[in-house]
């Protein structure tokens, strides 16, 4: 029994120390940023010698939440990727299949999760968003544990930063030519029903106006329409759980409905 307890203690100690190296790097970089921020007088773009500190300021806050799937085969693999500097990718949160939430970066800091992306007029999504990665290889449903944990996290983020309901979107939405996450299995309607993201109403009686243009509608929603085919597929992936090219008459109604909701 004593031997078993000893082995268990060794195992727990190894788990605790597994990320000690990356934690040290995190702390070192955080201290460097903090030192730069608190420099007095300011030494950034202009050294005029006429510094007067304003009394009215706070930290910049995130305006979007971007949801991803990891496209990897385990939470451990993703954590390793995000704690290896050579990977050059990161996220603020990682949610494992068992619902465990790993907080990997202060919410006010800029993660490298969105890449080359655009939503509306914002072409630097990394600087305005929080990135959440869900352990999922891209070809499987998400677990209830994951979604329940995600909803708890989204509730906290929305309340703390007053993030608009429409600004909970997916990686594929902001980078339709490059990405497909969080895949067609992601329960966007369930999130929208809880207040995180928009969803359409019954479109049975919707009549499309003669002036309706699908490309303009995609642009109003937020999509980068330089590649209209990619933007259309990204829209269908999010709101129709479909990745076939083109739109039929019923799907045009959904697009129109989402455009109208985006304008409200």
d(CA 77, CA 51): 47
Average pLDDT on 100-127 reads 97
Write down how long the chain is.
264
Q: What are the C-alpha distances in Å from 184 to residues 25, 80, 187?
A: 36, 26, 8
- For residue 6, the model assigns a pLDDT of 44
The pLDDT of residue 225 is above 50: yes
DSSP summary character for residue 129: E
Q: Which of 63, 133, 140, 257 is catalytic?
A: 133
What does pLDDT average to over the chain? Answer: 91
Domain ranges of the chain: 57-199, 214-263
The pLDDT of residue 38 is above 80: no
Residue 199's pLDDT band (cuts 50, 70, 90): very high
pLDDT per residue over 116-149, tens digit each? 999 999 999 999 999 999 999 999 999 999 999 9
Are the C-beta atoms of residues 222 and 125 closer than 8 Å to each other? no
- For residue 100, the model assigns a pLDDT of 98
Dihedral angle of Cα 45, 107, 70, 98, to the nearest 10 degrees: 170
Are the C-beta atoms of residues 86 and 100 closer than 8 Å to each other? no
Fold classification of 57-199 (topology level): Lysozyme-like (3.40.80)
Residue 8's pLDDT band (cuts 50, 70, 90): very low
d(CA 198, CA 168): 8
Average pLDDT on 171-182 reads 97
Q: What percent of the chain has pLDDT over 90?
A: 77
Query: DSSP letters of 76-95?
Result: HHHHHHHT-GGG----SEEE
d(CA 247, CA 69): 25
Query: DSSP letters of 130-174?
Result: EEEEE---SSSPPPHHHHHHHHHHHHHHHHHHT--GGGEEEHHHH
d(CA 2, CA 120): 62
Residue 55's pLDDT band (cuts 50, 70, 90): confident
The pLDDT of residue 49 is above 90: no
Average pLDDT on 32-58 reads 75
pLDDT per residue over 58-88, tens digit each? 888 999 999 999 999 999 999 999 999 999 9
Question: What is the maximal distance between C-alpha atoms in the chain?
Answer: 79
133 assigned to active site? yes
- For residue 119, the model assigns a pLDDT of 98
The pLDDT of residue 222 is above 60: yes
pLDDT per residue over 211-220, tens digit each? 999 999 999 9
Residue 13's pLDDT band (cuts 50, 70, 90): very low
Average pLDDT on 228-253 reads 96
Residue 12 CB neighbours (<10 A): 10
User: Is the link from the previous residue into 182 a cis peptide, with omega within 30 of 0?
Assistant: yes
- For residue 10, the model assigns a pLDDT of 44
- For residue 249, the model assigns a pLDDT of 95
- For residue 48, the model assigns a pLDDT of 61
Residue 12's pLDDT band (cuts 50, 70, 90): low
Q: H/E element holding 230?
A: helix 228-239
The pLDDT of residue 1 is above 80: no
Selection from 216, 115, 228 nearest residue 174 by Cα: 115
């Amino acid at each position: 029994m004593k031997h078993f307890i000893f082995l268990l203690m060794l195992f727990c100690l190894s788990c605790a120390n597994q990320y000690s190296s990356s934690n040290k790097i995190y702390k070192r970089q955080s201290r460097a940023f903090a030192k730069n921020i608190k420099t007095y007088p300011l030494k950034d773009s202009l050294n005029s010698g006429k510094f007067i500190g304003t009394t009215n300021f706070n930290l910049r806050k995130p305006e979007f939440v971007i949801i991803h799937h990891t496209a990897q085969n385990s939470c451990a693999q993703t954590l390793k990727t995000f704690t290896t500097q050579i990977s050059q990718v990161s996220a603020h949160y990682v949610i494992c299949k068992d619902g465990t939430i790993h907080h990997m970066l202060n919410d006010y800091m800029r993660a490298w999760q969105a890449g080359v992306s655009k939503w509306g007029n914002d072409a630097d999504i990394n600087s305005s968003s929080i990135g959440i990665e869900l352990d999922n290889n891209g070809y499987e449903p998400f677990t209830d544990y994951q979604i329940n944990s995600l909803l708890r996290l989204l509730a906290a983020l929305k309340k703390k930063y007053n993030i608009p309901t429409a600004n909970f979107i997916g990686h594929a939405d902001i980078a339709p030519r490059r990405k497909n996450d969080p895949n067609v299995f992601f329960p966007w309607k369930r999130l929208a029903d809880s207040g995180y993201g928009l969803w359409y109403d019954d479109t049975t009686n919707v009549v499309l106006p003669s002036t309706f243009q699908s490309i303009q509608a995609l642009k109003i929603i937020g999509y980068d329409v330089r590649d209209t085919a990619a933007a259309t597929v990204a829209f269908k992936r999010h709101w129709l759980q479909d990745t076939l090219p083109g739109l039929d008459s019923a799907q045009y109604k959904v697009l129109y409905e989402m455009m109208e909701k985006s304008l409200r």
